[in-house]
Amino acid sequence: MRATGTVHSAYAIGTVDGRIYGSFIEHLGRAVYTGIYEPEHSTADVNGMRRDVIDLVRELDVPVVRYPGGNFVSAYNWEDGIGPREKRPVRLDLAWHSAESNQVGIHEFADWAEAAGTEMMLAVNLGSRGLDAARSFLEYVNHPGGSYWSDLRRENGREAPWGVKIWCLGNEMDGPWQIGQKTADEYGRLAFETAKAMRAFDPSIELVVCGSSSPRMPTYPDWEATVLDYTYDTVDYISLHLYFDYDTGNTADFLAESARLDDYIGTVAGVIAYTKAKKRSQKDVYISFDEWNVWYHSREADKAVLAGKSGWPHAPALLEDIYTFEDALLVGCMINTFIRRSDVVKIACLAQLVNVIAPIMTVPGGEAWRQTTFYPFLFASRYGRGRALKLAIDVPGYATSFAKNVPYLDVSVVETETDGALTFFIVNRHQTEAIELDIAVEGFGTRRIIFDQVIEGHDLKATNGPHGETVAPKDAVGSSVSDGRLKATVSPLSYRIIRLG
């Protein structure tokens, strides 16, 4: 099978916003406790944060991390997590049927973010609380001093404000599982008023309003139209979430799921354009895809805790999906979709970062290790920042029940900003056939291959673990550039990254 195409330096999609390589830490399961925070761990720093985990987060180069939830935020009192630790209350977290010790709050998380080299993206509680708690949290976090909340922050040991730029107006407010679920009209009004108050404090912050928590919601896409009707002029992003499971039970359909992601982005981009026109607005609103991943392996195991059969455990193992090679291929396709839609998707958060549907796992008191999905994310985060290029490619495809023509080869191309290299991120969805790639590379001068790695040849259900990485990249062979054409044989069911310097 052949795939022929052209990439030309004059034809760009736009600049990839590095924040599409963001992630997410929620007070859920072992993401925080025994994930990022484990004071007894041999690598713990002075704040009790695991240095081995920080090193892996730094390796991934995550520019922004959303916090503290997720469903958790919809019944969270941010004040519970400040002040002397011994005085912090233990609360019952209704979202995950767990006990929350509040030993980690905004101060500890901010210190962790600094150590991990990332920015915080904070969510306010618009479920059980509202505008008032949101504005005091913002004042606590971002005001220099001389007011009640900012002076309290200083008393609690942090002199300078953190200056957090991105704020999420609640989480998945359309979901019946959400504490304080709202109709689109209820939420639209509340989000507007909260945004107005937060902007009165600081017009330069960036605000994210909740879109649908999935395209499977019955309220989608009316929800987006209604919510944006209320908030278009006061927000910067609309948030989308999507997780894939193994509904249809076959690899071809599973690897095609990114087509749904593409449709979802396209539809919401259309709703944004419609609202902009309706309001005769000059302003643009973009998409913050602040939860995305594969999520299904742990659903059965989690049922007992979520049904309350385990009481109210502190930091139980929840959502601990162990990812397969197959999952890594789909994650590669999802990231390619974000790159190709980088004209409208400006923020995306892989949900989540540690232990909870995460690329990084930890053993309490033991190792931190990389899941299979770590690698496509790593490569894109490292080499996928710069100019996303249009690729005209002719490649055979296949049909599924939800998409008419899913190309066997999924490719995105970025001219990397740091070194000007041209990076091809490639997934071959074909289960048995190698694909002969032949791309005309035009307008980039003389190029040669400087990096070529592949993840291939594994059992689709192969996983990594604390004591070894079965699924990891290795050097690829056989690619070439001559007469301005990149040629490579892309093996069946593989993830490939080729960089031309």
Positions marked active-site? 172, 291
CB-nearer residue toward ligand AHR: 71 or 416: 71
71 binds ligand AHR (CB under 6 A): yes
- 355: burial class by Cβ within 10 Å (0-12, 13-18, 19+)? buried
Work out how close the CB of 318 gets to ligand AHR at its nearest, in angstroms, rounded to a whole number.
9
How many residues in the shown chain lie near ligand AHR by CB under 6 A? 10
CB-nearer residue toward ligand AHR: 164 or 357: 357
Q: For the chain, how are helix, strand and coil distributed in percent, rounded to 5?
A: 30, 30, 40
Work out how close the CB of 364 gets to ligand AHR at its nearest, in angstroms, rounded to a whole number.
21
Work out how close the CB of 292 gets to ligand AHR at its nearest, in angstroms, rounded to a whole number.
10
CB 448 within 8 A of CB 482: no
d(CA 404, CA 19): 31
Work out how close the CB of 28 gets to ligand AHR at its nearest, in angstroms, rounded to a whole number.
6
d(CA 492, CA 497): 14
User: Pattern 241-270, binding to ligand AHR, x per CB under 6 A?
Assistant: ------------------------------
Work out how close the CB of 71 gets to ligand AHR at its nearest, in angstroms, rounded to a whole number.
4
CB-nearer residue toward ligand AHR: 139 or 321: 321
CB-nearer residue toward ligand AHR: 139 or 172: 172
CB 133 within 8 A of CB 73: no
Q: Which stretch binds ligand AHR (CB under 6 A): 68-76, 327-335, 369-377, 404-412?
A: 68-76
DSSP string, 260-317: HHHHHHHHHHHHHHHHHHHTT-----EEEEEEEEE--TTHHHHHHHHTTTT-S-BS--
d(CA 76, CA 211): 20
- Minimal CB distance to ligand AHR: which residue? 70
171 binds ligand AHR (CB under 6 A): yes
- R_g (Cα) of the chain, nearest Å: 23
d(CA 258, CA 260): 5
100 binds ligand AHR (CB under 6 A): no
The residue within the footprint of ligand AHR, chosen from 53, 134, 351, 413 (CB under 6 A), is 351
CB-nearer residue toward ligand AHR: 21 or 96: 96
- Residue written as tokens 């790695």? 453
User: Pattern 22-61, binding to ligand AHR, x per CB under 6 A?
Assistant: ----x-----------------------------------
The tokens describing 270, both together, are 């259309």
CB-nearer residue toward ligand AHR: 70 or 316: 70
d(CA 212, CA 218): 10
User: Pattern 187-226, binding to ligand AHR, x per CB under 6 A?
Assistant: --------------------------x-------------
Q: Which stretch binds ligand AHR (CB under 6 A): 63-71, 148-156, 192-200, 373-381?
A: 63-71
CB 198 within 8 A of CB 191: no
CB-nearer residue toward ligand AHR: 139 or 291: 291
The residue within the footprint of ligand AHR, chosen from 79, 139, 174, 291 (CB under 6 A), is 291
Work out how close the CB of 222 gets to ligand AHR at its nearest, in angstroms, rounded to a whole number.
20
The residue within the footprint of ligand AHR, chosen from 118, 258, 337, 352 (CB under 6 A), is 352
Work out how close the CB of 401 gets to ligand AHR at its nearest, in angstroms, rounded to a whole number.
24
CB 31 within 8 A of CB 72: no
Question: Closest Cα partner for 374 from 388, 362, 361, 383?
Answer: 361
**Peptide linkage before 68 cis (omega within 30 of 0):** yes
CB 491 within 8 A of CB 454: yes
- Mapped onto helix, strand or coil, the DSSP state of residue 100 is strand
Strand order in the sheet with 409-416: 474-475, 449-455, 494-500, 422-428, 409-416, 386-394, 2-15, 435-442, 485-490, 480-482
CB-nearer residue toward ligand AHR: 105 or 407: 105
Q: Which stretch binds ligand AHR (CB under 6 A): 64-72, 271-279, 362-370, 480-488?
A: 64-72
CB-nearer residue toward ligand AHR: 38 or 174: 174
HSE of 37 in the Cβ direction (CA atoms, 13 Å)? 23
Q: Which residues bind ligand AHR (CB under 6 A)?
A: 26, 69-71, 171-172, 213, 291, 351-352
